[in-house]
Structure 1
Amino acid sequence: MTLFRAAIAVAIATPCLPAMANGIMVEVNGARAHGHWGGELGAGYSLTLGGFSLRPIVGAFVYKGDNDRYYQDSFSNGQTRCRDGQTGQFANDSECNNVAVKAYAKIEATYSIPLMAEVGGGARFSGDKVRPYGTVAVPLAPTIKLKGNAGPKYYALGLKAGF
């Protein structure tokens, strides 16, 4: 019986999917957060009424980690190997990957000024910190905008694309 109900729900919702997909957006930003420079990769959904939008976003902040113990050692024959800086021993190549990732969630409230800009504010949640910020986006193409965010200890500049 549960499978039957799920099939009915899918059949009812399927015609609505193109309308629901209209609010999906992605963002790619260069950002300064958590005291580090890095990149934000996020996805969200715009709930729009008139010129006002409410946009929940989730994503990942990718930045250089704090582990400088390992490094790539280059040899005269052109090969490179990962080496432990404290012991001098060779290490797995994965140890030299010093990339850190931190999840984030944002909520933005904006107003669109037709053919000019989208302005508003938001809050960025990451770890146990909440950072408020202002946001401005200007259109580059029908579905692509150049977007900037600025707030206490948080700055970002990048592209937002809607579908």
Structure 2
Amino acid sequence: MLEGNGARSEGVWGAEAGLGYEITAGGFSLRPVGGVFVYQGNDDRYVSDTFNNGQTRCRDTTNGQFADDRLCDDTALKAYGKLEASYTFAGSIELGGGGRYDGGEVRPYGLVSFPIAPRFRIHGNVGEEFIAVGLRGAF
């Protein structure tokens, strides 16, 4: 299965992309998932300066010199792992819970999902310092 989410983890907004495996029996499901959380990092060393002529350049704040523009892109990646257990009621609403680990500690969360197509569901997760809403596809 694949998942794509908009998420907020530990006070930071970003996007999640995950890949997992779903084991299902009699309405019950177990899903181990691994993925990456993509977010705006906090590297203040490089900043974008805009000049009077409208041109923007990346600058190193430690020495004032111009720097490669890619250094001003603070995109950061953080790996995560999740394990979810749920129950789907007659092919409709799914309710369950899980635990998410991203390098700090395991954070428990609740989950709910609704089908939008035979193999696709809109889902949401809510827990301590974690919230996500997205799309999950089973293949």
Shared fold, TM over 0.5: yes
**Runs of 4+ in structure 1 displaced over 6 angstroms?**
none
In 2, Cα distance between the equivalents of 1:45 and 1:117? 20
User: Which has the larger strand fraction?
Assistant: 2
State which of 40, 57, 65 in structure 1 corresponds to 2:41. 65
Correspondence 1:33 to 2:9: yes
Instruction: State the partner residue of 2:81.
Output: 105
> Of the two, which has the highest radius of gyration?
1
Correspondence 1:135 to 2:120: no
Instruction: State the partner residue of 1:43.
Output: 19
Q: Deviation of residue 78 (structure 1)? A: 5.2
In 2, Cα distance between the equivalents of 1:68 and 1:158? 31
Write out per-residue CA displacement over residues 37-76 of structure 1, whole angstroms, 9 at most, x where no aligned residue.
1111101010011100100000001111111232223345
Correspondence 1:91 to 2:67: yes
Write out per-residue CA displacement over residues 81-110 of structure 1, whole angstroms, 9 at most, x where no aligned residue.
211234321011221110111100000001
**Normalised TM-score (structure 1):** 0.79
Segments of 5+ residues of structure 1 without an aligned counterpart are 1-24
CA RMSD of aligned residues (A): 1.5
In 2, Cα distance between the equivalents of 1:58 and 1:27? 10
What secondary structure sits across from 1:160 in the alignment? strand
**Normalised TM-score (structure 2):** 0.92
Structure ranking higher on relative contact order (CA contacts 8 Å, 6+ apart): 2
User: Which has the larger helix fraction?
Assistant: 1
Counterpart amino acid of residue 25 in structure 2: L
State which of 69, 75, 82 in structure 1 corresponds to 2:58. 82
In 1, Cα distance between the equivalents of 2:128 and 2:10? 11
What secondary structure sits across from 1:53 in the alignment? strand
Correspondence 1:55 to 2:31: yes
